[in-house]
Chains A and B, each alone.
Chain A
């Protein structure tokens, strides 16, 4: 599987993502700078965590206007898989590649800790190697991860099986509506999630629950 990681000014999980991708797929990902006009031909594009453009105006707002995102959007429309983690999820909502928005955590604090999640959808290229309802633990590290969308959008996301990860009952770190932690787009080739699967692929770092996400992609993508 060939992959690319987009690097924005102030991305800070780009190397974590690259290490996880190399370890899991055996191939080094392309690192693509935000001002580049095109992403190489790959099977998976990762938008990493961080504070792209210093979170100016709104998290992800400036990054959504960057040159590279035009090509990411075009490639996603052609079916290339896109994984947005944390700040990457914020960029995907600002680009309208995913519905809704991520607002300030309900408790106002930056939350940095492992959280319990439920895999609520396994009919996706990102989660097919998990069991439906499986409990996993991924770390979160964000100040604005509080997912919001109107009721109609939420009902539609749930009705179409597009809510892939939810915070486990009692473990919602940010006030996200309906405990939503990660969602798919309509074509199911774009996933955005606030928790960090790329930080749990090595037992040395405290867990391996994220491995199945990459194993799913390896199995699903050419």
Chain B
């Protein structure tokens, strides 16, 4: 089973990189760009075939390593 984990900064945590990207987009003439926030995508291959078990395992991975839950939140996407 393949999975994709999205790790993004929690609301209220300063994202200077996102701000810089926003400024660069404005500089390129893309008007109307509001707040920009940058995150990470982590693709994983898992031996597990049961979706519920895979999700539980990924949640544990996120809590233990993939995300720092003090500043980040995560979303898990399973792909068949």
Contacts and interface: CB of A to CB of B under 8 A. Distances in A.
A148 B14 CA distance: 9
A101 B16 contact: no
Interface size range on B against A: 10 to 19
Given A103-B71, A108-B20, A148 B65 contact: no
A108 B70 contact: no
B54 interface: no
Contacts of B15: 104
B68 A94 contact: yes
Interface in B1-43: 13-17, 20
A107 B66 contact: no
B65 A65 contact: yes
A104 B68 contact: no
B14 A107 contact: no
A108 B66 contact: no
Candidate in B17, B20, B66, B71 with the most chain A CB atoms within 10 angstroms: B71
Contacts of B13: 103, 148
A105 B20 CA distance: 12
Contacts of A106: 14, 16
Contacts of A93: 70
B7 to A, nearest CB: 9
Contacts of A107: 16
A103 B14 contact: yes
Among B15, B20, B66, B68, the most chain A Cβ lie within 10 Å of the Cβ of: B68
A149 B70 contact: yes
Contact of A61 (B16, B17, B20, B65): B65
Contact of A146 (B14, B20, B65, B66): B14
B74 to A, nearest CB: 13
Given A103-B71, A148-B71, A57 B66 contact: yes
A152 B43 CA distance: 34
Most buried by B among A61, A100, A107, A148: A148
A104 B71 contact: no
A100 B59 CA distance: 21
A107 B20 CA distance: 9
Nearest to A100: B70
Contacts of B16: 104-108, 175
Contacts of B17: 104, 108
Given A65-B65, A108-B20, A175 B14 contact: yes
Interface of B: 13-17, 20, 65-66, 68, 70-71
Closest 5 pairs between A and B when the two form their complex, measured CB to CB = A101-B70, A101-B71, A108-B16, A104-B16, A106-B16
